Amino acid sequence: GSSKILIKGGTVVNAHLQEVADVYVEDGKIVAVKPNIKVGDDVTVLDATGKYVMPGGIDPHTHLAMDFMGTQTLDDFFSGQAAALAGGTTMHIDFALPVKGSLIAGIEAYEKKASISCMDYGFHMAITKWDDDVSREMEVMVNEKGINSFKFFMAYKGALMINDELLLQGFQKCKSLGALAMVHAENGDAVFEGQNRMIELGITGPEGHALSRPAVLEGEATARAIRLASFVNTPLYVVHVMSIDAMEEIAKARQSGQRVIGEPVVSGLVLDDSKLWDPDFITAAKYVMSPPIRAAGHDKALQAALSTGILQLVGTDHCAFNSTQKALGIDDFRKIPNGVNGIEERMHLVWDTMVESGKISVSDYVRITSTECARIFNIYPRKGAILVGSDADIIILNPNSSFEISAKSHHSRSDTNVFDGKRGKGKVEVTIAGGRIVWINGELKVAPGSGKYVKMPPFSYLFQGMDKADAEYLRSLRAPVKREIISTV
Ligand code: URP
Ligand code: ZN
Ligand code: ZN
Ligand code: ZN
């Protein structure tokens, strides 16, 4: 594509401002945002009249080429990102896993995997055990590798799970580094018991997945992580909030002044668990993810929480497997690889579910799909904004056009799509990533190796003033905290 692009006549939407203006892009950066920009004929001109010009989506939660549950997720850093670009997402933050317990070996493996990238990306690092080496390697991640967030697993007993003692030490280390602690919040011990109970009862199908790890276990772990983060006085980010139970714990904590961020994912916002009872194994197994997709009602409550600011940004947890991989669990739901797609569908489904339905404004859409993620992970306004000097990651969305999701036409390598058949208003017609037009007229123009690694510095706005508050905060733990129960329904 061309390195000089003019987007004419659209409504430019930032989280803080909407204005009718032209956007001029040169060499990967936004150079001007104002009405009536005049250019020479070496510039590619895109007419955006009647359309929205917005920052490209940033997906805070993906698993590309991840070794997991005896297999590897199907989309790698090229196919997953190509799918993302076709759906209006121009950056993602993937969860790098340690290799043999080493964070350094882990990040080096992920640097290799990501060398085929066609859009910008960053990393969170998962912490799956705890010792002095891990603690030291966390310093290397933050100070040298550009990682400012660490995910702790309270579930996946025997594999990724760590206990409360180690969780506390991990939180403490995050705090000392100015890095954000993230949790997968499910009570892993209780899930293990629940799974055994299902097998004893002879429930071996995908519905056993939902029944063995109910919302109460997500609520419990969310509450526990929140209280442990409060004890350490460090910010906390709860990934894939799937239930009312978890969301209400986040609401309470935020109301009491605690810095807790809640991330719903698109599957939790728009799906319910009914398909898990489908008699056809594959039809049901493709919906298996953790925490599970919940009964109808949780989806609407999560939408409401997102629209009122109780939850702050939307991820996908894109973790694609095909039917053959899902069939690993044909005799035992515990062996079904956990994960669903979403990286290509998020921008469309959030638009349709939240904006088209009148729940949020277009500016709020930009905030929850892009800007807030950039702020939390400390890369704003390079990302998440259409401002002079920002990276030219831009989408043009036509609110009068429509989308339809199908496993046949999607860009993921999987043969299944949990959103298959969903349609709605609002279509991403153009995606510009790093100043290049990569998606236009239903065609992808992507090249492996064109995506850049985005280093994320520690100490985001979430940490501001927390050091000052420490001493006073610890004293305040002696006093009773008054908390009102709030209703989100
Ligand atoms: O089922 C899921 N969510 N798979 C991906 C791994 C994780 O826990 O995020
Ligand atoms: Zn998780
Ligand atoms: Zn995940
Ligand atoms: Zn597509």
289 lines ligand 1 (CB under 6 A): yes
- Cβ of 339 closer than 6 Å to ligand 1, yes or no, is yes
The answer to whether the beta carbons of residues 1 and 436 sit under 8 Å apart is yes
pLDDT, one tens digit per residue, over 145-178 is 999 999 999 999 999 999 999 999 999 999 999 9
The rounded percent of the chain whose pLDDT value lies above 90 is 93
Of 317, 333, 335, 341, best ligand 1 pocket probe by most atoms within 8 Å of the beta carbon = 317
Residue 384 has pLDDT above 70, yes or no: yes
- The answer to whether the CB of 317 is under 6 A from ligand 1 is yes
Output 324-329 pairs: Cβ under 8 A, ≥24 positions apart.
Answer: 325/71, 325/74, 326/282, 326/285, 326/286, 326/288, 326/416, 327/281, 327/282, 327/285, 328/69, 328/70, 328/71, 329/206, 329/285, 329/288
- Phi first, then psi, for residue 284 (nearest 5°) are -80, -45
ipTM of the complex: 0.93
pTM of the prediction? Answer: 0.96
The verdict on the CB of residue 320 being under 6 Å from ligand 1 is no
- pLDDT category at 453 given cuts 50, 70, 90 is very high
Nearest CA to ligand 1 atom 7: 290
Which DSSP category does 429 fall into? E
**The pLDDT value given to residue 390:** 98
- Substitution site in 290, 293, 340 for ligand 1 pocket (most atoms within 8 Å of beta carbon): 290
Judged by its nearest atom, the ligand closest to the C-alpha of residue 82 is 4
What percent of the residues of the chain are helix, what percent strand, and what percent coil, each to the nearest 5?
Answer: 35, 25, 40
Give me ligand 2 centre to Cα 184, in Å: 5
List the one residue out of 260, 266, 281 whose CA is nearest residue 376.
260
DSSP calls for 187-222: -HHHHHHHHHHHHHTT--STHHHHHHS-HHHHHHHH
- As a whole number of angstroms, the distance between CA 448 and CA 312 comes to 32
Q: At what angle do helices 132-144 and 164-177 cross, to 10 degrees?
A: 30
Ligand 3 centroid distance, CA of 61 (Å): 6
Does the Cβ of 73 fall within 6 Å of ligand 1? Answer: no
Q: Ligand 3 center to residue 290 CA distance, Å?
A: 8
pLDDT at 226: 98
Are the CB atoms for 319 and 63 separated by under 8 Å? yes
- Average pLDDT for 272-289: 97
Q: Tell me how far CA of residue 89 lies from CA of 80, 347, 448, in angstroms.
A: 11, 7, 16
Whether 486 shows a pLDDT value over 80: the answer reads: no
CA angle 178, 184, 190 (to 5 degrees): 135
